[in-house]
Amino acid sequence: MIEIKRLNFRYPDGAHALIDISVEVPSEQIFAVMGQSGSGKTTLLNCIARFLKPESGLITLNGQAIDEMDEKEFRQKIGVVFQRLNLFPHLTILENMTLAPIRVQGRPEVEATEAARAMLDRLGIAELSGSYPAQVSGGQAQRAAIARGLMLQPEYMLLDEPTSALDARTTEDFAGWLKELHEKTNFIVVTHDLLFAKSAAEHGVFMREGRVVHTGAIGEILAAGNI
């Protein structure tokens, strides 16, 4: 479980991006962090990912403060897929997937390649292994980026606006695809797309101006109004 207690973050210009945030993210489900642009949801994701250091407050993973965890251990437990995906354009999808396991985890190339091919096959995109990022659709690139993150077998995967480049049909398919994966990996999804959140996630929070204004089951949040 990820627990966030009284988290505050202020940017160098003085803007207070997160104000007294307290959230519990249970395991074995898809958790949505919802809100419009400027609500603080991506800043919260970056604090969970340790890319930003909070001004005050505490974030724990299974009871351990994340800022006290070894960097390598932390990166193996928390994976991140950014909105821009950050797939290396000069590498094939397969090469993108094996890069970190080989260089970071020290896995043999043959073993990493076999695992990557098995992952692509399990996710239904085996045919993309030899393609370059520019040769695949937005939905395929999104799946490939998540597949790359899953190669490190993280306990939690953080997704920043994963449907921003997808059309309505692909978004619906993507929601179903995430549901198939969450039995082995916990997902925290940052999104402004409320329909996607409703179709993919069980619980979540809704943020406005740096504060959590609603929390609980997604259906209850959406039914509460004033969002």
Using one digit for the tens of pLDDT, what is the confidence trace for 174-193? 788 788 777 778 899 999 99
What are the E-state strand segments in the chain? Answer: 2-10, 16-25, 30-34, 56-61, 64-65, 78-81, 156-160, 186-191, 203-208, 211-217
Q: What is the pLDDT confidence band of residue 140, given thresholds at 50, 70 and 90?
A: confident
Provide the number of structural domains found in the chain: 1
Q: What is the pLDDT confidence band of residue 171, given thresholds at 50, 70 and 90?
A: confident
Question: Whole-model pTM?
Answer: 0.84
Assigned token pair, 91: 């590498």
Using one digit for the tens of pLDDT, what is the confidence trace for 19-64? 999 999 988 789 999 999 899 999 999 999 999 999 999 999 999 9
Nearest Cα to 19, choosing from 52, 60, 55, 66? Answer: 55
- Range of 198's domain? 2-223
Residues 158, 61: contact at Cβ < 8 Å?
A: no
Assigned token pair, 86: 């950050």
Here the CATH number for the domain that contains residue 11 is: 3.40.50.300
pLDDT score, position 46? 95
